[in-house]
């Protein structure tokens, strides 16, 4: 591969930034068109699951900031502001007036740089956090940590930027919500969480990495998952592969033929 200085300059020339992130590296393991779109800011995922995860993390790590950022929308409270014609409807929350009322709340929130969340999602997040405290996981793994720590570090000459959920004196903890604790081991590979673990441990010089995982449906079963040396090695191999793919892509520039790029592997 070319020198890291040339690599970073090509990133800067094409995207206006010389750093990469866990998400960009993950995309570089697949279709390079998707990587290119991500780096250009043309991909923005806004699914309910991602919204909930972001909200949960903020209430877990930065509760005061979360109370300023989020507006909780409770249908029972909002319906009290509606005229009798809405309340007498068989489905009050499905009426035009009610929907317009909620849309006004959402619009005002956007103007104030805030986010609306359903009261049910807020209640679930609070129950999840309570369970972490009841089990002792919050005390054992989060107390005394720095939260949402910005990281801008070089790894083998490549500039990496990210945010560490919880940074302790001798360990890193990453919060994940999951459909199933038992299936999380497969999520690590599927979503390339191993790259994230490698990046953070390598950059911070800390060997211990844990995922604080919690199921997002009642009874919100939590668990602590230790990242093994084998998983860190897997993350390092994926990191090197992603960097190689990006270097090839940047070297060809506008001459890169997206149409000829395809996956090839054995199972």
Among candidate residues 134, 152, 187, the one where a domain is terminated: 134
What is the domain-level CATH number for residue 8?
3.90.320.10
Tokens of 243: 């960097």
Number of Cβ atoms within 10 Å of the Cβ of 117: 20
* Structural domain span for residue 67: 48-134
Residues 59 and 181 in one domain: no
Point out the least confidently predicted range of 36-45, 51-60, 134-143: 36-45
Phi then psi for 37, rounded to 5 degrees?
-65, -40
Give 11-35 pLDDT, tens digit per residue.
999 999 999 999 999 999 999 999 9
Distance of CA 211 to the CA centre of its chain: 13
Cα(68)–Cα(22) distance, rounded to whole angstroms? 28
pLDDT at 216: 86
Residues 146 and 249 in one domain: yes
pLDDT at 266: 83
Q: Strand, helix or coil at 71? A: strand
User: Span 143-166, mean pLDDT?
Assistant: 96
pLDDT at 223: 96
Please, which pLDDT band fits residue 1 given cuts at 50, 70 and 90? low
Domain count of the fold of the chain: 2
Residues 152 and 58 in one domain: no
Most confident of 30-34, 231-235, 251-255: 231-235
Among candidate residues 110, 134, 158, the one where a domain is terminated: 134
The pTM of this model reads 0.87
Q: Which helix (H) or strand (E) holds 31?
A: none
């Amino acid at each position: 591969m070319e020198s890291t200085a040339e690599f970073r300059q090509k990133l800067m020339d094409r995207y206006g930034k010389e750093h990469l992130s866990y998400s960009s590296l993950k995309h570089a393991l697949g279709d390079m068109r998707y990587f290119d779109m991500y780096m250009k800011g043309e991909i923005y995922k806004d699914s309910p699951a991602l919204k909930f995860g972001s909200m949960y993390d903020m209430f877990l790590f930065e509760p005061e900031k979360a109370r300023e950022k989020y507006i909780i929308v409770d249908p029972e409270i909002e319906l009290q502001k509606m005229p009798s014609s809405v309340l007498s409807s068989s489905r009050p929350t499905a009426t035009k007036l009610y929907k317009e009322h909620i849309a006004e709340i959402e619009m005002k929130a956007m103007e104030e740089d805030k986010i609306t969340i359903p009261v049910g999602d807020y209640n679930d997040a609070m129950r999840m956090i309570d369970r972490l405290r009841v089990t002792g996981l919050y005390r054992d793994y989060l107390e005394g940590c720095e939260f949402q720590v910005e990281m801008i570090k070089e790894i083998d000459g490549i500039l990496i930027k990210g945010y560490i959920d919880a940074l302790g004196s001798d360990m890193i903890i990453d919060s994940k919500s999951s459909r199933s604790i038992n299936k999380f081991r497969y999520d690590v590979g599927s979503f390339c969480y191993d790259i994230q673990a490698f990046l953070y441990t390598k950059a911070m010089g800390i060997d211990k990495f844990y995922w604080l995982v919690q199921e997002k449906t009642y009874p919100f079963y939590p668990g602590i998952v230790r990242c093994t040396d084998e998983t860190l090695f897997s993350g390092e191999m994926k990191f090197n592969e992603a960097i190689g793919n990006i270097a090839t892509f940047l070297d060809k520039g506008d001459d890169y033929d997206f149409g000829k790029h395809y996956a090839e592997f054995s199972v």
